[in-house]
Amino acid sequence: AQRVTQPEKLLSVFKGAPVELKCNYSYSGSPELFWYVQYSRQRLQLLLRHISRESIKGFTADLNKGETSFHLKKPFAQEEDSAMYYCALMGSSNTGKLIFGQGTTLQVKP
């Protein structure tokens, strides 16, 4: 069964500090992993996907198959990064099923 776990409901850091939002998954095959973000008063939107191996708004995420993790990182947090972040998984069985974790609220303090 597919499962995504985000262990932290709230992560609070000061501006300029490093950020790491944790995501662990459970899946027997090779999944696709994503991070979605919801800024205040905006729609939930895609931030990045592991297959693109890109950096968006300074955020990166590396898929670690050994640890079944896909943590989201940024070296220096900005106040505008404050938002709700969701990790998501789509299994390799090609069902198209996309499931999300519980979400982590990132609060960047000035």
Residues forming contacts to another protein in the complex (CB under 8 A) are 6, 36, 43-46, 86, 94-103
Confirm if 85 and 103 have CB atoms less than 8 A apart. yes
User: From CA 81, how far away is CA 30, in angstroms rounded?
Assistant: 30
Strands 45-49 vs 98-100: parallel, antiparallel or unpaired: unpaired
Minimum distance from residue 101 beta carbon to another protein (Å): 6
Least Å from the CB of residue 49 to another protein:
8
* H helix runs in 6-96, sequence order: none
Give 30 or 95: the residue with its C-beta nearer to another protein. Answer: 95
How far apart are CB 85 and another protein at their closest, in Å? Answer: 11
**Cβ closer to another protein: 15 or 22?**
22
